[in-house]
Amino acid sequence: MLVLAQKIVSKSEGRMVRLRDVTPSPRALELARQSGKDARFCEVVLWDTREIVRVRAGLIIVETKHGWVCANAGIDRSNVAPHDEDEWVLRLPEDADRSARELRARLRAATARDTAADLIKGFATGANDYITKPFNREELLVRIENQLVIKQMLDMEKSVSNSLRKEKDSITNLYQRSQDLKESTLQMLEWERIVREDINIAHSFQMKLMTHAKNITGLESNIIYQPILKLGGDIYDIFEIRPGVARVFLADATGHGITASLNTVKILSEYATMKDSLPSPRDVVSLLNRRFCALYDEYHIVFTCVVADIDTTEETVTVATAGHPECYVLSSGSVSVIKPRGPLVGFSETYEYPSQTHPFKQGDIILLYTDGLIDLIGDQYGGARNPDFNVWEKIESRIKRINTVLSLDEILASMIQPPAEERLSRGRAEDDITIIAIRRV
């Protein structure tokens, strides 16, 4: 909270009056006679007076035009005069509430620190998260809870690692081994309970951090999200960063279970700090890469991702990818392939990711997916047993068969289910599968 004295505000708003420039009115002369005060001073008092409450020698009590009851209408004579011989007085601000609002707005603008340069500088100095003014209470609480969960999971991981190391070093004989095994079994049961609780917490945060905004004007979207375990390595986010521009994020972290969940919470947390503040997909992917190379190198976190900005005004889609599978744009019977450019996030700190822009007009559809779909289609065709099998040909063939007038539900289902005439098995998912379909309407 910032509190300012009235005097500095009044001076800044030019509320100073030089008495030699004031001509007393008859009412001011009468007030001067009753109070014994300077008639020019009484005239300035009357300027800001709604009603005179009481007058006696040396005292004038009024109700000001602001609605306040005070002496001399709040006119100040102390420490007012500039360095000259004239006598000056200082009136109250014309509208104190308006003055406070303007000060708050100017202070907020001066301290907001909400540019991309501010964001990058904050992270470069060691910040774990970044939030800009004006603060949203619910968002702030979620971010704090998220950081606490990350710390708790990191602490647990270190604790398990240290305990296992101590167990190995302390085994000296068979009896000791049996005792240690018993204690380790009990400890592992306790760890299992703790891990289950942490998995539930991480799953809750994972789902809370993933956004699927369905009310974006001009766009229709749908998602298939099928993790093979409760905690998956696939994460997504669909969010309107400004009117007419939707930003889509899809990532696939290495690993499954606790490792994947820990990684995805970190990825989502990092992405949340920058998703609506950086201007382009290439900036987002490049900053994510620098962050993970600099801050999480010891955890060996690498992941593929794609960031796509869909601009309904310009009718374009701009895409940046980091080791992620191809994306496809379906338009009037034709299919455009957006091939991956750049390594996985976390490999090369100096790499700057490029972006690609494609037309995206009414009726067009963009399809994004993770490599779990590749594994599923490969299993449907028995690709592991056939050295000549080309899964990319099968994916493109399946996409080219899509009827774009179908609902997005039907289109997503056709990506997973093999064509009926080929009489294939449904396949077995051995990796998380996420498919995003977005149509321009």
Domain boundary among 203, 228, 260: 203
Token pair, residue 249, equals 């994020």
For 226, 424, 433, the CA distances from 380, given in Å and listed in that order, are: 17, 6, 14
Strands 433-440 and 316-322: unpaired
Helix ranges (H only) for 48-130 are: 96-111, 116-124
Is there a single domain that holds both residue 247 and residue 289? yes
pLDDT at residue 124 above 60?
Answer: yes
CA distance 217 to 214: 9
Is there a single domain that holds both residue 288 and residue 414? yes
Is there a single domain that holds both residue 315 and residue 177? no
Q: How many CB atoms sit inside 10 A of residue 225's CB? A: 17
CATH number of the domain residue 14 falls in: 3.90.1660.10
Q: What is the pLDDT of residues 18-71, one digit of tens each?
A: 998 999 999 999 999 999 999 999 999 999 999 999 999 989 999 999 888 999
Is there a single domain that holds both residue 225 and residue 291? yes
Is there a single domain that holds both residue 197 and residue 231? no
CA distance 300 to 364: 38
* Mean pLDDT taken over the chain: 86
Is there a single domain that holds both residue 327 and residue 415? yes
CATH number of the domain residue 384 falls in: 3.60.40.10
Would 220 be classed as within a structural domain?
yes
Is there a single domain that holds both residue 358 and residue 263? yes
Is there a single domain that holds both residue 189 and residue 58? no
Q: How many CB atoms sit inside 10 A of residue 290's CB? A: 19
Would 119 be classed as within a structural domain?
no
CA distance 181 to 183: 5
What is the per-residue pLDDT for 174? 60
pLDDT at residue 257 above 70?
Answer: no
Q: Give φ, ψ of 38 to 5 degrees.
A: -60, 130
Q: Give φ, ψ of 339 to 5 degrees.
A: -85, 150
- Which residue is associated with the tokens 């309107």? 240
Would 94 be classed as within a structural domain?
yes
Q: What is the pLDDT of residues 157-184, one digit of tens each?
A: 788 777 777 766 655 556 666 777 778 7
Angle at 292 between CA 287 and CA 293, to 5 degrees: 100
Is there a single domain that holds both residue 83 and residue 194? no
Classify the phi-psi angles of 368: left when phi > 0, otherwise alpha if psi is within -120 to 50, otherwise beta. Answer: beta
Would 68 be classed as within a structural domain?
yes
Token pair, residue 106, equals 């100017």
Would 105 be classed as within a structural domain?
no
What is the per-residue pLDDT for 22? 92
CA distance 243 to 52: 54
Residue 439 host element (H or E): strand 433-440
Token pair, residue 127, equals 């910040």
Classify the phi-psi angles of 387: left when phi > 0, otherwise alpha if psi is within -120 to 50, otherwise beta. Answer: alpha
pLDDT at residue 384 above 60?
Answer: no
| Enclosing domain of residue 306 | 209-440
Task: Name beta bridge partners: 369.
Answer: 435
Would 230 be classed as within a structural domain?
yes
Would 115 be classed as within a structural domain?
no
Is there a single domain that holds both residue 412 and residue 316? yes
> What is the residue type of 355?
S
Residue 359 CB partners (closer than 8 Å, separation 6+): 315, 316, 317, 331
pLDDT at residue 140 above 60?
Answer: yes
> What is the residue type of 252?
D
For residues 249, 254, 260 and 265, what is the CA-based torsion angle, rounded to 10 degrees? -30
Query: Per-residue confidence at 264, pLDDT binned at 50, 70, 90?
Result: confident
Token pair, residue 51, equals 């009603």
With H, G, I as helix, E, B as strand and everything else as coil, classify residue 432: coil
Would 313 be classed as within a structural domain?
yes
Mean pLDDT of 351-374: 95
What is the per-residue pLDDT for 121? 78
Q: What is the pLDDT of residues 222-236, one digit of tens each?
A: 999 998 877 788 999
Is there a single domain that holds both residue 87 and residue 160? no
Domain boundary among 98, 123, 153: 98
- 259: exposed, middle or buried (C-beta count within 10 Å: 0-12, 13-18, 19+)? middle
**Greater model confidence, 255 or 343:** 343
CA distance 324 to 305: 5
Query: Per-residue confidence at 407, pLDDT binned at 50, 70, 90?
Result: very high
The DSSP letter of residue 349 is T
**Greater model confidence, 257 or 162:** 162
CA distance 83 to 438: 70
Is there a single domain that holds both residue 180 and residue 73? no
Q: Residues 146, 269: contact at Cβ < 8 Å?
A: yes
Report the half-sphere exposure of 416 (CA within 13 A, side-chain side): 20
Residue 74 CB partners (closer than 8 Å, separation 6+): 6, 48, 64, 68, 91, 92
Residue 355 host element (H or E): none
**Total of domains in the chain:** 3
Report how far Cα 80 is from the mean position of its chain's Cα atoms: 48
Residue 176 host element (H or E): helix 174-209
Domain boundary among 187, 203, 219: 203
CA distance 26 to 47: 13
With H, G, I as helix, E, B as strand and everything else as coil, classify residue 63: strand
Strands 334-338 and 59-64: unpaired
